[in-house]
DNA sequence: TAGATTGTTAATCGATTAACAATC
DNA sequence: TAGATTGTTAATCGATTAACAATC
C-alpha cells in the first residue's frame, strides 16, 4: 500500500489540527457523519477558509455541498499528526508534574506510551507510578535501545534539565518534550518542543492586566 | 507615581518574554549586570533585532555599546507581564494534573497564588492539597467574591469542563486558564487562554514523523 | 576616536483572509 | 435546477528580518 509522503505544515496549522480533532470526536459521538468547514469554523470561532487550508495539508478531499466525512477527516488528521501509530516514550523527573503526566489518560489517544520513568531519588527507583516502572538515570541508554524509545519528556527541576536532556540525547532519543522553564541546547537532528506553562500564563496575565488598565 | 499605561503586544512577543526572563534570572544569579540583545539572541537561537523589538514593548531603554541593565530588564518584563503583582486564583478539578498544578513551585514567581481548589469528589472536599483547601463546587461564587479571585484554572475532565467554566464565569472570574482538550465558550470580556498539551504534542509528533519519513 | 550597540525605518516573508470558478 | 460547499488563486495583513543613522 502506497503511503502518502507526509510533508511539513506550518506550526499554526499543526496547533489547530488537534482542536478540529477534538470537535470531530464530539461530532462522531453525537452520530454526525458529515461536517463542513463553515460549521467547524463557527464552532471554534475560526475562519472557514483557514479550516479548509489546514485540512488540505492532510490530503483529504471534501465534497461540494456536503463537506467532509467526519470519520475520514478524523483518520486523516490522526495519520498526519502520527497519532495513529505508537510513540514510545520515557519521562525524566517523577515529581508532581511527572506523576501527573504518567497518569494522564489522554496520551494513549495521541499515540504516546510511557514505558519508563527515571528519577535520581533512591526511594522512587524500583517502584511503579501509575503502573510505569521507575529506573535510575544510568539505566537510560540501555532501555532506550532495548525498548526502541524515541521520545523523552523532561519534568525535572530547571537546574537538572540540561543534564537530563544531554543524557537523553546520548541515549539515542530523537524528540524531546521539555516542561522545564529553561532553554535547552540540543544538537541538530534532535527535535525539541517546549511546552512551558509560563508562556501560556504570560499571555493570560498580560491580557488581564491590559483589561484592568482599560477600566481604570 | 505615574504608572505607564500598559499596551497590548503581539502574542508571539508575549510568548518570548518569559524565555528572556528565565535567561536573565540565570545571568543575575551569575552576577552579570549588563546584557546585549546580541547575547540574548545567540543564547536563545533567536534574532537580535527581534529581541530588541520585543524589549521595546516593555518601555525599557538600553544603552549603546553596553546594552541593557539586567536588573532593569527583569523588572520591566515582570511588570509588563503583570508578574510583579499578586494574581489570586482558584482551581477546578483536583485530580492528577490539578494536584501537580497546586504544588508547582514556580507559579509564585509568576504572581499566581492559589487560594482554593474545587472538586465534586466528596472525599476530597474539606481536605487540603499542598496546603490549599478543597471546597465543593457550589461554594465558588461566594469565595470568588470574598477573596477577590480573578483567575480560574480548569483541570477537570473534558466532559465537565464547560460546566466548570460556566460556574467560574457566573462567579465573577475574569480570566480562565483551560487545560481540558476541548473548546470552551465564554462570553465577551472574559479572557480565555488554552494551554493544551495536545497542541504541543501535535507539533512534536508530526515533526518526528516527517523526520522519519525523510530517512526512509 | 573606533567600535559595538541601540532604536527605528524599510524590505521581506509567511500566514490569514477575500474572492470566485468548479462541483455536485 | 438552485444553492451550498470545496479548492485555489489573489489580496491583505502582520510579524520577522535587514539596513543603517544615532549614540556613547
Over the stretch B46-68, which tens digit does the pLDDT of each residue have? 999 999 999 999 999 999 999 99
Per residue in B130-158, pLDDT (tens digit) is: 999 999 999 999 999 999 999 999 999 99
Mean pLDDT of B145-173: 98
pLDDT over 90, % of chain B:
93
Q: Which residues pair with B151 in a beta bridge?
A: B89, B175
> Given this model, what pLDDT does residue B114 score?
98
A3 pLDDT more than 50? no
Distance CA A35, CA A24 (A): 9
Q: Among the residues of chain B, which ranges form H helices?
A: 11-29, 37-43, 48-56, 70-80, 96-102, 140-147, 158-171, 197-214
Q: What is the pTM of this model?
A: 0.94
Size of interface A-B (CB pairs under 8 A): 191
User: Residue B16, exposed/middle/buried by CB under 10 A (0-12, 13-18, 19+)?
Assistant: buried
Packed helices B158-171 and B140-147: angle between N→C axes, nearest 10 degrees? 50
Q: Which among A70, A75, A62 is positioned nearest to A43, based on CA atoms?
A: A70
CA A79 to chain centroid, in Å, comes to: 14
**pLDDT for B212:** 85
Q: Kindly report, residue by residue over A172-200, the tens digit of the pLDDT.
A: 999 999 999 999 999 999 999 999 899 99
Residues within a 7 A CB radius of strand C: A 10-13, 46-47, 49-50, 53, 63-65; B 36-39, 48-49, 52-53, 55-56, 61-68
Tell me which residue has cell 499596551: B7
What radius of gyration do chain B's Cα atoms show? 20
* Residues A180 and A155: beta-carbon distance below 8 Å: yes
Give me the pLDDT at residue B8, please: 83
Query: Contacts of residue A191 in chain B, CB cutoff 8 Å?
Result: 204, 207-208, 211
Only one residue has cell 474545587, namely B118
Q: What is the pLDDT of residue A216?
A: 47
pLDDT digit string, tens, across residues A69-101? 999 999 999 999 999 999 999 999 999 999 999
Amino acid at each position: 500500500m502506497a503511503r502518502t509522503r507526509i510533508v511539513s505544515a506550518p506550526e499554526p496549522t499543526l496547533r489547530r489540527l488537534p482542536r478540529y480533532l477534538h470537535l470531530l470526536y464530539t461530532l462522531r459521538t453525537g452520530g454526525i457523519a458529515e461536517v463542513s468547514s463553515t460549521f467547524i469554523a463557527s464552532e471554534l470561532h475560526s475562519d472557514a477558509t483557514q479550516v479548509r487550508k489546514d485540512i488540505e495539508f492532510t490530503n483529504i478531499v471534501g465534497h461540494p455541498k456536503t463537506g467532509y466525512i467526519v470519520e475520514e477527516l478524523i483518520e486523516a488528521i490522526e495519520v498526519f499528526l502520527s497519532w495513529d501509530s505508537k510513540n514510545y516514550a520515557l519521562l525524566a523527573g517523577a515529581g508532581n508534574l511527572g506523576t501527573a503526566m504518567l497518569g494522564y489518560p489522554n496520551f494513549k489517544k495521541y499515540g504516546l506510551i510511557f514505558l519508563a520513568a527515571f528519577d535520581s531519588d533512591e526511594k522512587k527507583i524500583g517502584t511503579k507510578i501509575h503502573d510505569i516502572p521507575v529506573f535510575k538515570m544510568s539505566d537510560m541508554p540501555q532501555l532506550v535501545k532495548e525498548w526502541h524509545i524515541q521520545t523523552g519528556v523532561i519534568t525535572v527541576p530547571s537546574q537538572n534539565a540540561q543534564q537530563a536532556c544531554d543524557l537523553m540525547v546520548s541515549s539515542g532519543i530523537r524528540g524531546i518534550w521539555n516542561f522545564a522553564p529553561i532553554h535547552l541546547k540540543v544538537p541538530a537532528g534532535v527535535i525539541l518542543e517546549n511546552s512551558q506553562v509560563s508562556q501560556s500564563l504570560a499571555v493570560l496575565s498580560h491580557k488581564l492586566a491590559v483589561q484592568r488598565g482599560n477600566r481604570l
